[in-house]
Every structure is written in C-alpha cells, then in structure tokens.
Amino acid sequence: MKKVRVVVTGRVQGVWFRAATRDKAIQLGVNGHVRNLVSGDVEFVAEGDDSEVDRLIQWARHGPPLARVDDTEVEILQYDNEYTDFRVGY
C-alpha cells in the first residue's frame, strides 16, 4: 500500500482537473482528496494499492483534455489508511 502527495503545476485550475482526478481515483479504487492551491496549482493526496496510486500519478502527468500539465511533484508519505473515499476539496 502507498500514500503520496502530488502537486501539479500548469494550467490546472478552471479546467475540471479536480473533478477528473476524483473520477479517475474512484475508477482506480484510490482514496484521498484533491484541492486547488492559492498558487494556481492543484494538490492531491492519494492512498491505496501501489500500482493503482502509480496509475493515478501517471494520469495526472497529463490530466484532463483542457489541462496543460507543466510538472508533477510527488512526495511519498507514510501510509496510514486515513481516507475512506476520494473527495474534492478538504
């Protein structure tokens, strides 16, 4: 099991990035949350099966069709089974 914090930079606000991240996470069976940052970036915390979390990170490197992802910073966190679902905002 794995838990990560990911910050996505680029044109990622106002392009349905958060909703699309939630939908993809639910599809993959990953729990956590996604939110906008005041910097204009999007941050998400995701936990679950290693391979499914990795698939969410890979997806985030491109994001939804209207997004332009410039960079993704991934931080590995201590897995603690904190979340029971995946939510927008937190």
The residues carrying an active-site annotation are: 18, 36
Q: Which of 33, 32, 60, 35 is nearest to 47 (CA)?
A: 32
Sheet with strand 68-77: strands edge to edge: 68-77, 2-11, 42-48, 31-36, 86-88
